[in-house]
Amino acid sequence: MTTGSTEKVNGAKALIKCLEKEGVDTLFGYPGGQIIPFYNELYDSDLRHILVRHEQAAAHAADGYARATGKTGVCVSTSGPGATNLVTGIATAYMDSVPIVALTGQVPRSLIGNDAFQEADITGITQPITKHNYLVQDPQEIPRIVKEAFHIASTGRPGPVLIDLPKDVQNIEIDLQYPDRVELRGYKPTYKGNTQQIKRAAEEIANSCRPIIYAGGGVISSNASAELVELAETIVAPVTTTLMGISCIPTEHPLYVGMLGMHGCKYANYAIQESDLIIAVGARFDDRVTGKLESFAPNARVIHIDVDPAEISKNVKVHIPIVGDAKQVLKSLIKYVQCCKSAEWIEKVNQWKKEYPLAYRKSQDTIMPQFVIEQISEACKDAIIVTEVGQHQMWAAQFFKYSKPRTFLTSGGLGTMGYGFPAAMGAKVGRPDKTVINIAGDGSFQMNSQELATVVQNDIPVVSVVLNNGYLGMVRQWQELFYDRRYSYTFIKGSVDFVKLAEAYGALGLRAEKPSEVRPAIEEAVKSGRPAVVEVIVECEANVYPMVPAGAAINEIIDLEEH
Amino acid sequence: MKHTLAVLVENKSGVLSRVASLFSRRGYNIDSLAVGVTEDPDISRITIVVHGDDHVLEQVTKQLNKLIDVIKVSDIGTDDAVERELALIKVSADVDTRAEIMQIANIFRARIVDVAPKSMTVEVTGDESKIQAIEKLLRQFGIKEMVRTGKIAMVRGPKKV
């Protein structure tokens, strides 16, 4: 299964040639003892290598690059501690089904298992958090393994794949022939949905009076946004999205009812609870979405479209399962459907939308965090928004107006603090034409702020807006609501001067302390064309509302007025 | 309910650990697991006995199928299948009890594979209930050591998994 001529090269060079054949243009990585042969060959290649300051950032950057571009991201590290530092980033990509390939150095084959210096069993460690992984035992297998790795990472339900490369394997000369096909008898994803099931789904839709489309990250990864919107408009059904599904339909689309779940819009949660038919597309009924499972959408039939059969009926009983790629299935489904009897329902949903809008207390004196997101939204239309994890993440999900897919990148499944900044860096490298804003909290930003060095050295003009409330805000919110305001170790005020921190690295540092200073600071940062940090001193005890307490039904909502 | 799964996998290093760790990390309980190569040297067959209701079984099957090295998963518990386990039982024995132990072994079509002044080792194959039965009978003599392979199973007749 190979084409073209054979050439003799060492393993490291073979690896680079294989990456080039896969269309890789950028790597995020950090060298070390057991990956030196690869770096030695990289020195002569045209591949762009971004030297991060911590391997965790390399994995997140590859992830951000992949989410922003739709291509597979690549990160590199050495063995042992280098490889284990990738773990959080790999787990993040696994939980959110992001295609990345991680290359790790390993001690020479003769030392494997001897507890050699900087040895770690990284294939063992990453087994539960990779779609698949390889320890290359035979250098001649490098081309086949690289081909398979990229195929596995990017097809079916995407995910991370790791290739562990012993140092001696990188040095041995092989006959390089790159295969043009992959033969994996245990891996044949289903893309085309079963026609009978699709027809049954169309019938269910025709009989439904209160349908709702529940869209997840799968819509974005399969590039099915246009089809999703077409389905919604054809059958006239409201659309709610998960956190991962945000940006798959424009925020201002009249049929969009916002995010659902724990911090979802009240009207989205009411709509899903009252619906008689849920059309789930590329979503997995996560506990942050469903709340208490027994009380979730009690009267709804469920159609579930997903490329991963294991997601179907995992959490919620599904009446019509359709295994397949979201784009392909939606395309076929659209052919069979027409407007359903939803007129009254749409009116009711719109009524809820008017009655329970997303809201916050406005203030002239202090800066409300939600106000900052609105200002970013107005100043940076069409920007790629990346977030860290916490309160700011939820406000970014609620108050920014998204218009195109792949413009909201966030760690949904694993909830990784420290994700946003390096992921924003990766997104900007992949989409240099776009403004990339990392919305951060003061806690999260400090988890990977060392990457300021990377963005400055490589001239990657990412803007981080740090909403500084002096707290680990989301935990503080839980402590306030459920732990009697005992703020156990969530107070972090004064930990660092973010403006000076940015300046110390050679980035632009700006601060806003009054509402009137927010917009100018954001605009100046974006206009500067430099890596920048905008520290915004926000109301310190602002909370994310609406909120469904963990374990409650999703229409049991704590709202602004009650607190 | 107990289910017997026949799992065909690539015969490569690390595959068994992928399969076994999938069970532990997803909270499924393995009752027994036996593995060996098949008539095709590139393919190994893992027989797994797992405890759980239909929902658990469906998830186990689907999650196993997601592993790249898993070629096929079949639930053969519902078919008419031949099920076997092998056990070696080392039992206390002396001149007075040796004959009786041999008699029991004969009845169960078991074999005596080792004899020593104070012990005998019995090799027995059969389904779970047969092995339990002989174990119960030998217990009166004192079982010094016992080892079981875990269940292997195959569908009767021309059908293949």
Strand partners for A280: A214, A304
Q: Look over chain B and give the mean of its residue pLDDT values, rounded to a whole number.
A: 94
According to DSSP H, which parts of A164-299 are helical? 167-171, 195-207, 217-221, 225-235, 266-274, 287-290
Interface test with B, best of A97, A127, A148 (most B CBs within 10 A): A127
Among residues A117, A381, A491, A500, the one annotated as catalytic is: A117
Task: Give the contacts of B39 (CB within 8 A, at least 6 positions apart).
Answer: none
Choose the final residue of a domain: B51, B76, B101: B76
Task: Give the pLDDT score at B161.
Answer: 86
Peptide bond before A546: cis, by omega within 30 degrees of 0? yes
Give the torsion sign (CA, A318, A319, A323, A325): negative
Q: Which domain holds residue B99?
A: 82-155
Q: Would you call A123 and B70 a contact, using CB atoms and an 8 Å cutoff?
A: no
Catalytic status, residue A117:
yes
Q: How many beta carbons lie within 10 A of that of residue A378, not counting itself? A: 12
Task: Show the tokens assigned to B86.
Answer: 């092998």
- Could you give the count of Cα atoms lying within 13 Å of A383 in the half-sphere of its Cβ? 28
Amino acid at A310: A
Task: Give the pLDDT score at A4.
Answer: 62
Same domain, B72 and B100: no
CA Rg value for chain A: 24
Q: Would you call B17 and A124 a contact, using CB atoms and an 8 Å cutoff?
A: yes
- CA–CA distances in Å: residue A127 to residues A501, B17, B50, B93: 37, 9, 21, 48
Burial pattern A215-230, b for ≥16 Cβ within 10 A else e, equals bbbbbbbbebbebbbb
Shortest Cα distance from A315 to chain B (angstroms)?
10
Give the DSSP H/E element, type plus range, for residue A151: helix A142-154
Same domain, B24 and B58: yes
Examine residue B161 and state whether it is found in any structural domain, yes or no. Answer: no
Q: Is A279 left (phi over 0), alpha (psi -120 to 50) or beta?
A: beta
Choose the final residue of a domain: B76, B103, B123: B76
Same domain, B70 and B92: no
Asked if A519 and A510 count as a contact pair (C-beta separation under 8 A), the reply is no
* Structural domains of chain A, with CATH: 7-176 (3.40.50.970), 195-356 (3.40.50.1220), 369-537 (3.40.50.970)
Which ipTM value was assigned to this complex? 0.91
B59 close to A (CB below 8 A): yes
Examine residue B56 and state whether it is found in any structural domain, yes or no. Answer: yes
Same domain, B86 and B70: no
Examine residue B40 and state whether it is found in any structural domain, yes or no. Answer: yes
Between CA A47 and CA A36 the distance in angstroms is 16
Shortest Cα distance from B76 to chain A (angstroms)?
19
Task: Give the pLDDT score at A563.
Answer: 45
Task: Show the tokens assigned to A217.
Answer: 């990250």
Same domain, B53 and B100: no
Residue from B141, B22, B150, B37 nearest B86 by CA: B150
Q: Where residue B103 sits, what CATH number does that domain have? A: 3.30.70.1150
Q: Would you call A131 and B68 a contact, using CB atoms and an 8 Å cutoff?
A: yes
Between CA A439 and CA A153 the distance in angstroms is 28
Q: In what order do the strands lie in the sheet with A320-323?
A: A256-259, A239-241, A211-215, A277-281, A301-306, A320-323
Among residues A22, A41, A55, A374, the one annotated as catalytic is: A55
Residue from A216, A221, A227, A217 nearest A70 by CA: A221
Examine residue B55 and state whether it is found in any structural domain, yes or no. Answer: yes
Examine residue B160 and state whether it is found in any structural domain, yes or no. Answer: no
Shortest Cα distance from A427 to chain B (angstroms)?
29
Same domain, B72 and B16: yes
What does DSSP assign to residue B53? -
Same domain, B142 and B98: yes
User: Nearest chain B Cα to A130, which residue?
Assistant: B67
Q: How many beta carbons lie within 10 A of that of residue A47, not counting itself? A: 14
Strand partners for B4: B49
Task: Give the pLDDT score at B78.
Answer: 66
Residue from A118, A284, A196, A265 nearest A559 by CA: A265
Mean pLDDT per block of 10 residues along chain A (563 residues) reads 74 98 98 98 98 98 98 98 98 98 98 97 97 98 98 98 98 95 96 98 97 98 98 98 98 98 96 98 96 95 98 96 98 95 97 95 95 98 97 98 98 98 98 98 98 98 98 97 97 95 98 98 98 98 95 90 50
- Could you give the count of Cα atoms lying within 13 Å of A398 in the half-sphere of its Cβ? 28
Burial class of residue A343 in the structure, from the number of CB atoms within 10 Å of its CB (0-12 exposed, 13-18 middle, 19+ buried): exposed
Between CA B124 and CA B121 the distance in angstroms is 10
Percent of chain B surpassing pLDDT 70: 99
Q: Which residue has the tokens 């409201």?
A: A238
Give the DSSP H/E element, type plus range, for residue B69: none
Task: Give the pLDDT score at A561.
Answer: 58
Task: Show the tokens assigned to A138.
Answer: 């035979």
Examine residue B66 and state whether it is found in any structural domain, yes or no. Answer: yes
Q: Where residue B48 sits, what CATH number does that domain have? A: 3.30.70.260
Task: Give the pLDDT score at B160.
Answer: 87
Provide the 3-class DSSP secondary structure of residue A262. coil
Examine residue B108 and state whether it is found in any structural domain, yes or no. Answer: yes
Strand partners for B89: B122, B146
Task: Show the tokens assigned to A460.
Answer: 């990657």
Same domain, B66 and B100: no
Question: In total, how many domains does chain B have?
Answer: 2
Pick from B18, B25, B62: which is nearest to A310 by CB? Answer: B62
Residue from A314, A269, A319 nearest A296 by CA: A269
Residues on A contacting B at a C-beta cutoff of 8 Å: 123-124, 127-128, 131-132, 135, 137, 152, 184-187, 308-310, 313-314
Choose the final residue of a domain: B56, B76, B96: B76
Between CA A245 and CA A263 the distance in angstroms is 14
Catalytic status, residue A118:
yes
Between CA A526 and CA A377 the distance in angstroms is 13
In this structure, are strands A277-281 and A211-215 parallel, antiparallel, or unpaired? parallel
Amino acid at A234: T
Same domain, B145 and B115: yes
Among residues A20, A118, A199, A230, the one annotated as catalytic is: A118
pLDDT one-digit tens code per residue, B116-131: 999 999 999 999 999 9
Same domain, B91 and B143: yes
Same domain, B66 and B33: yes
Q: Which residue has the tokens 């990453």?
A: A126
Q: Would you call B65 and A310 a contact, using CB atoms and an 8 Å cutoff?
A: yes
Between CA A59 and CA A65 the distance in angstroms is 10
Same domain, B91 and B134: yes
**Whole-structure pTM value:** 0.96
Task: Give the pLDDT score at A3.
Answer: 55
Shortest Cα distance from B83 to chain A (angstroms)?
26
